[in-house]
A and B are shown apart, each in its own frame.
Chain A
């Protein structure tokens, strides 16, 4: 399977590692010892939508440019719908 890395072009799946669902991390908070902060982080770190279908994921081009990518992929067909740099994603959102 080839992944179109924005820096390196189409590269084999073997060059990448994947870290699961690309979800927003809670921003650093001042009252980091508050129960609210814990609730936010528990949700962010442990809970997933885990959809059958389109899924946004973080992939790392370990054996390439070492960019973390935001990949939109279909978990039922394995089709890569979109691959972008996390920084681009940051700008778009």
Chain B
């Protein structure tokens, strides 16, 4: 060991030639390339890394992997700060900055450690029993204190600056875990020619082989790993994903995985994502994720320096770090003895090996001869506030205090089967390994190696190969078992040492769930209070709900509950692990869908033109529609809309209506089909004419309304509203394919194929006349309202022209193939200039349709009927159609329903807003005086008044009544009159000019 630190002079997979400087809690330290943050901290003698959740007990590193419950830090600073990062899974990089969390003011002195003194009060579920009086104190007093005390790390508080991407991959065999079993499986499957993805969470393949002193085929294990890697890398059918956690399983062989592309760097290089979210589709999968070692429960078992035995070995063999100068070992497994052997080999003599079993394991005679051993013994207490100093060892004859600055514990191993139970399959207890094995797992997924409860290296290698062989057989790829590398056979026995809790046992701090500070006495209390089902235990005590999902705690807790209830562990139950297997950054799952790229943008063919005119756009679903075309003379946007409306009503204007849904209906049965889909008689629309339609849902409510044009006997074009386009088309296909497959008709959605302009206003016929190619005559007689024609414009451009009016003026809807859209609008503006043409936006269009009383989104909101909107006159009542039967249910034709009317303030300058309610005048507004609501409102430049459309109980029967437009959310009530729903030109004379 050098320089007062804990780094060994030689050994390990770190690069001693590359020093890496990093900071922890503001202090600068040095580690080496190849270190994890945890190994670097340990090498520097940092023992206390964090504070626990509830009692703020000092805690150090427990493990060397993702099961870590204690060593959580805030990593990085500024907007890259990330809370609750496991120091054991962070690769050291130059300039790394980490801070301890959940402590104040400092890690060494934490005020809330006082909570520990109150442990007798702060037992499991204490908060359910108190803080109830007075009721108002919960939010104001108690809860803020609890919230501040709880929680671990702090979020950055600002936007994540990094980028993420999502990717898909397909393979025959996905192998999860590149330890000995995974590598053997990959070798066999790769040689068999299968397309293989081998994923491992570590930065290099090898798994436990990176931390072992075992010999494979006469070579150190790490060398064997290198040779396998070399062979795999040469196979084009094998893809190795390191730094990749397979996090969850989905139907049909889909697995989600997260690759940490740049987390080992100070920040992602340009054009490199921080993380990549993989969707891997495979035909078979092998789960070879190894096993997690269990700690042993005993009083004060949480002191910094007490560590899992395999972790001690990993720090020693892989990182060249001694976790203590005088470590003791408390093991109920043969594996703990291996740790002792490796320590001795590195020149560190264990203070004592304590094993509750009566005999030293076979094959470890050398170890037993070299170090003090206490068999048939237990650790019964420890001391050392900021780090272990002594342990108390109780044997058959006495209790002795042993000086030790570290304690390696090994209580047994739990196969890492989390992923296998993502579909809800309950694991099965194994009496051989004293833990749960995967059962009823996901179809196509098999466990191998330690994940299958096989712990001795020789068998692990065989298990990996055999599972791949089985997968190859299932895939129909012929191959045979690869030769298994030679490893000296060892025995790997263990005998679990569960904590024997008794009813009387309440004082001892026997920690089960380290992160959440769940102690054995909490489990005793849960049992006493009836929270005995394993899920109740978990939820009442929070056992296993921390960021490690109870990997090191669930089974110990379960064993205590089992002993208290006198049942076996499997009888007591098992909690299912939930996805993801390790916590996953939300940004990775979202990929590039963020900010303005959250959802796609649909632009109309004349978007660029509108943009060049400085139009602001409004979002309508994914569409961007130009809302106004302001000019410098306009005082504000309201003035813009007023100018546009006035110009259309007095001269002419043009607007973009390309977003309207367009469905072509074609075939001998087209008319018949539309008669059945729509509540009108499409068959009575003559060729060359347009007609109004309303369409009902199956339940009789209004689905959509609009216009349709009949170009030939068997061809219609249906214009559906922008917002409903996709749903209406889907519905029409449903009707065609499912309801009446016998009809000879076809549907095509052509919305994006056409650019469509509405040219409206008294001068519109003249503008249109100049656009159309001869011999089309645009006159009141030759092209009256509701005419539809397929023509050409501008010297031969295919076009569809319909004399339709949404604005209430004489108006034409002209469609050309989308590519001609921008040219057409420019041409229209040229031709229209002498007539004073304006471009108008969706706002002016909305104003004009409200003036005309045409229902739109606010009225056709899925809750209204044709009856409500006063459309009954337009409907064909003598035929059946979709929704016809249910539209006549009593409540749907009740005259008291909220029905469409107009509403006009007594004082035209009093603004009314959409959403305000209509209430009876002269009484206090209440549910009883509520008549309905304003569905659309605007300032009408034509009437020089605010106006609105409203859905009012009794509707048209109330015309002439005075009501109050009640708007408490925006303040202010307005006296108003109920008027008919059409404010301008009720007889539609203006469209006929």
Contacts and interface: CB of A to CB of B under 8 A. Distances in A.
Interface of A: 1-2, 17, 19, 22, 25, 28-30, 32-33, 37-38, 40-42, 45-46, 58, 60, 62, 66-68, 78, 85-87, 90
B738 interface: yes
B730 A67 contact: no
Interface residues of B, number: 21
B226 interface: no
B888 interface: yes
B252 interface: yes
Nearest to B250: A1
A30 B252 CA distance: 47
A2 B281 CA distance: 10
A86 B252 contact: no
| Cβ-closest 10 pairs across A and B | A68-B737, A41-B885, A1-B252, A28-B880, A1-B251, A32-B880, A78-B251, A37-B885, A86-B737, A87-B741
A62 B737 contact: no
Interface in B879-898: 880, 884-886, 888-889
Interface in B252-303: 252, 254
Contacts of A25: 698, 738-739
A19 B880 CA distance: 23
A28 B250 CA distance: 42
A67 B698 CA distance: 20
B479 interface: no
A29 B251 contact: no
B734 interface: yes
B676 interface: yes
A33 B739 CA distance: 20
B880 A45 contact: no
Contacts, number: 58
Given A1-B252, A45-B698, A78-B251, A67 B737 contact: yes
Contacts of B737: 67-68, 85-87
Contacts of B884: 32
Contacts of B254: 1
A19 B697 CA distance: 13
B252 A60 contact: no
B699 interface: yes
B44 interface: no
B945 interface: no
Given A1-B252, A45-B886, 16 more contacts: A1-B254, A28-B676, A42-B886, A42-B889, A46-B699, A58-B734, A60-B730, A60-B733, A62-B726, A68-B733, A68-B734, A68-B738, A85-B737, A86-B738, A87-B737, A87-B741
Contacts of B738: 22, 25, 58, 68, 86
Contacts of A78: 251-252
A66 B746 CA distance: 12
Contacts of B698: 25, 41, 45
A37 B737 CA distance: 23
B74 to A, nearest CB: 37
Interface string B713-743: 0000000000000100010011001110100
Contacts of B699: 45-46
Contacts of A22: 738
Nearest to A28: B880
B880 A29 contact: yes
B888 A33 contact: yes
Nearest to A90: B741
Given A1-B251, A29-B880, A38 B886 contact: yes
A85 B884 CA distance: 27
A10 B70 CA distance: 46
A2 B889 contact: no
A41 B733 CA distance: 20
A34 B374 CA distance: 91
15 contacts: A19-B734, A22-B738, A25-B698, A25-B739, A28-B676, A28-B880, A33-B888, A38-B888, A41-B698, A41-B886, A42-B886, A67-B737, A78-B251, A86-B738, A90-B741
Contacts of A33: 885, 888
B250 A62 contact: no
A58 B737 CA distance: 11
A74 B588 CA distance: 31
A51 to B, nearest CB: 19
Kindly name the residue among B250, B699, B737 whose own CB sees the greatest number of chain A CB atoms within 10 A: B737
Nearest to A88: B741
Interface string B595-612: 000000000000000000
B885 A38 contact: yes
Interface string B222-257: 000000000000000000000000000011101000
A79 to B, nearest CB: 8
A60 B741 contact: no
A91 B885 CA distance: 27
B237 to A, nearest CB: 22
Nearest to B889: A38
A87 B888 CA distance: 31
Contacts of B739: 25
Kindly name the residue among A2, A19, A28, A87 whose own CB sees the greatest number of chain B CB atoms within 10 A: A28
A41 B888 CA distance: 11
Nearest to A10: B252
Interface in B735-785: 737-739, 741
A1 B888 CA distance: 42
Given A29-B880, A45-B698, A60 B734 contact: yes
A78 to B, nearest CB: 5
A67 B884 CA distance: 25
A37 B887 CA distance: 12
Interface string B59-82: 000000000000000000000000
Contacts of A58: 734, 738
Contacts of B676: 28
Contacts of A32: 880, 884-885
Nearest to A70: B738
Contacts of A40: 885
Contacts of A45: 698-699, 886
Kindly name the residue among B738, B739, B886 whose own CB sees the greatest number of chain A CB atoms within 10 A: B738
Contacts of A42: 886, 889
A1 B885 CA distance: 38
A62 B729 CA distance: 10
A42 B739 CA distance: 17
B774 to A, nearest CB: 39
Contacts of B252: 1-2, 78
Contacts of A90: 741
A32 B254 CA distance: 49
A71 B734 CA distance: 14
B921 to A, nearest CB: 39
